[in-house]
A and B are shown apart, each in its own frame.
Chain A
Protein backbone atom coordinates (compact mmCIF):
# COMPACT_ATOMS: atom_id res chain seq x y z
CA UNK A 1 0.00 0.00 0.00
CA UNK A 2 1.38 3.43 -0.94
CA UNK A 3 2.44 5.69 1.91
CA UNK A 4 1.07 8.81 0.14
CA UNK A 5 -1.34 10.07 -2.49
CA UNK A 6 -0.33 12.96 -4.71
CA UNK A 7 -3.58 13.28 -6.68
CA UNK A 8 -4.68 16.49 -4.93
CA UNK A 9 -1.28 18.12 -5.34
CA UNK A 10 -1.20 17.15 -9.03
CA UNK A 11 -4.66 18.62 -9.51
CA UNK A 12 -3.63 21.89 -7.86
CA UNK A 13 -0.39 22.12 -9.82
CA UNK A 14 -2.10 21.43 -13.12
CA UNK A 15 0.37 21.42 -15.98
CA UNK A 16 2.96 23.27 -13.95
CA UNK A 17 5.53 20.47 -13.55
CA UNK A 18 8.09 22.90 -12.19
CA UNK A 19 5.79 23.89 -9.37
CA UNK A 20 4.97 20.24 -8.67
CA UNK A 21 8.65 19.37 -8.32
CA UNK A 22 9.25 22.46 -6.20
CA UNK A 23 6.46 21.37 -3.82
CA UNK A 24 7.99 17.90 -3.50
CA UNK A 25 11.38 19.47 -2.74
CA UNK A 26 9.80 21.67 -0.09
CA UNK A 27 8.04 18.66 1.41
CA UNK A 28 11.25 16.66 1.69
CA UNK A 29 13.29 19.57 3.03
CA UNK A 30 10.72 20.94 5.48
CA UNK A 31 9.90 17.49 6.85
CA UNK A 32 13.55 16.72 7.51
CA UNK A 33 14.11 20.19 9.01
CA UNK A 34 11.01 19.75 11.17
CA UNK A 35 12.24 16.42 12.50
CA UNK A 36 15.60 17.96 13.35
CA UNK A 37 13.82 20.85 15.12
CA UNK A 38 11.78 18.32 17.10
CA UNK A 39 14.92 16.54 18.19
CA UNK A 40 16.47 19.84 19.28
CA UNK A 41 13.32 20.74 21.20
CA UNK A 42 13.33 17.37 22.91
CA UNK A 43 16.95 17.82 23.93
CA UNK A 44 15.96 21.15 25.48
CA UNK A 45 12.96 19.40 27.02
CA UNK A 46 10.80 22.05 25.33
CA UNK A 47 7.68 19.94 24.79
CA UNK A 48 5.58 22.92 23.73
CA UNK A 49 8.00 23.73 20.92
CA UNK A 50 8.10 20.08 19.97
CA UNK A 51 4.33 20.15 19.58
CA UNK A 52 4.63 23.30 17.45
CA UNK A 53 7.00 21.58 15.00
CA UNK A 54 4.82 18.49 14.86
CA UNK A 55 1.92 20.80 13.95
CA UNK A 56 4.01 22.48 11.31
CA UNK A 57 4.88 19.24 9.53
CA UNK A 58 1.45 17.70 9.70
CA UNK A 59 -0.27 20.02 7.17
CA UNK A 60 1.76 18.92 4.11
CA UNK A 61 1.47 15.30 5.29
CA UNK A 62 -2.30 15.67 5.34
CA UNK A 63 -2.18 17.17 1.88
CA UNK A 64 -0.45 14.13 0.44
CA UNK A 65 -2.41 11.73 2.64
CA UNK A 66 0.68 10.40 4.44
CA UNK A 67 -1.57 8.65 6.96
CA UNK A 68 1.08 6.96 9.12
CA UNK A 69 2.98 10.20 9.58
CA UNK A 70 -0.22 12.11 10.33
CA UNK A 71 -1.14 9.69 13.13
CA UNK A 72 2.27 9.98 14.78
CA UNK A 73 2.53 13.77 14.41
CA UNK A 74 -1.02 14.42 15.64
CA UNK A 75 -0.37 12.35 18.74
CA UNK A 76 2.72 14.42 19.45
CA UNK A 77 0.95 17.72 18.81
CA UNK A 78 -2.18 16.89 20.80
CA UNK A 79 -0.46 15.42 23.83
CA UNK A 80 2.11 18.26 23.82
CA UNK A 81 -0.75 20.80 23.79
CA UNK A 82 -2.32 19.01 26.75
CA UNK A 83 1.02 18.84 28.55
CA UNK A 84 0.75 15.05 28.57
CA UNK A 85 3.74 14.20 26.39
CA UNK A 86 6.59 12.61 28.33
CA UNK A 87 10.16 12.78 27.06
CA UNK A 88 10.22 9.00 26.70
CA UNK A 89 7.09 8.94 24.60
CA UNK A 90 8.32 11.92 22.58
CA UNK A 91 11.62 10.22 21.89
CA UNK A 92 9.82 7.03 20.81
CA UNK A 93 7.45 8.97 18.53
CA UNK A 94 10.25 10.99 16.94
CA UNK A 95 12.10 7.79 16.07
CA UNK A 96 8.95 6.38 14.51
CA UNK A 97 8.43 9.61 12.57
CA UNK A 98 12.04 9.52 11.32
CA UNK A 99 11.65 5.98 10.07
CA UNK A 100 8.29 6.60 8.45
CA UNK A 101 9.44 9.89 6.87
CA UNK A 102 12.61 8.27 5.57
CA UNK A 103 10.63 5.44 3.95
CA UNK A 104 8.12 7.85 2.46
CA UNK A 105 10.79 10.17 1.05
CA UNK A 106 12.57 7.15 -0.36
CA UNK A 107 9.40 6.06 -2.11
CA UNK A 108 8.85 9.60 -3.40
CA UNK A 109 12.36 9.87 -4.79
CA UNK A 110 12.03 6.47 -6.38
CA UNK A 111 8.86 7.53 -8.15
CA UNK A 112 9.60 11.12 -9.13
CA UNK A 113 13.32 11.84 -9.24
Chain B
Protein backbone atom coordinates (compact mmCIF):
# COMPACT_ATOMS: atom_id res chain seq x y z
CA UNK B 1 0.00 0.00 0.00
CA UNK B 2 1.19 3.43 -0.92
CA UNK B 3 -0.44 5.15 2.02
CA UNK B 4 1.14 2.94 4.64
CA UNK B 5 4.59 3.80 3.36
CA UNK B 6 4.23 7.43 4.38
CA UNK B 7 6.19 7.83 7.63
CA UNK B 8 4.01 8.04 10.73
CA UNK B 9 0.92 7.64 8.57
CA UNK B 10 -0.99 5.89 11.36
CA UNK B 11 -0.24 8.66 13.81
CA UNK B 12 -1.43 11.37 11.44
CA UNK B 13 -4.42 9.30 10.44
CA UNK B 14 -5.36 8.73 14.07
CA UNK B 15 -5.16 12.39 14.98
CA UNK B 16 -6.75 13.86 11.87
CA UNK B 17 -9.34 11.09 11.59
CA UNK B 18 -10.43 11.73 15.15
CA UNK B 19 -10.89 15.44 14.45
CA UNK B 20 -12.69 14.71 11.19
CA UNK B 21 -15.17 12.33 12.79
CA UNK B 22 -15.98 14.81 15.54
CA UNK B 23 -16.28 17.65 13.03
CA UNK B 24 -18.56 15.58 10.81
CA UNK B 25 -20.79 14.67 13.74
CA UNK B 26 -20.95 18.32 14.83
CA UNK B 27 -22.05 19.40 11.35
CA UNK B 28 -24.62 16.60 11.10
CA UNK B 29 -25.75 17.35 14.63
CA UNK B 30 -26.75 20.91 13.76
CA UNK B 31 -29.02 19.45 11.15
CA UNK B 32 -30.29 16.29 12.83
CA UNK B 33 -30.34 16.92 16.57
CA UNK B 34 -33.70 17.67 18.20
CA UNK B 35 -35.11 18.11 21.68
CA UNK B 36 -35.34 14.85 23.63
CA UNK B 37 -39.14 14.63 23.50
CA UNK B 38 -39.21 15.55 19.81
CA UNK B 39 -41.46 12.69 18.69
CA UNK B 40 -43.85 13.08 21.64
CA UNK B 41 -43.92 16.84 21.18
CA UNK B 42 -44.83 16.45 17.53
CA UNK B 43 -47.61 14.06 18.37
CA UNK B 44 -49.16 16.25 21.03
CA UNK B 45 -48.70 19.35 18.84
CA UNK B 46 -51.19 20.04 16.10
CA UNK B 47 -52.41 16.45 16.06
CA UNK B 48 -51.10 15.24 12.74
CA UNK B 49 -50.29 16.78 9.40
CA UNK B 50 -47.74 18.96 11.16
CA UNK B 51 -44.49 20.21 9.69
CA UNK B 52 -41.34 18.58 11.10
A and B from one complex: no
Q: B interface vs A, CB < 8 Å? A: none
Q: A interface vs B, CB < 8 Å? A: none
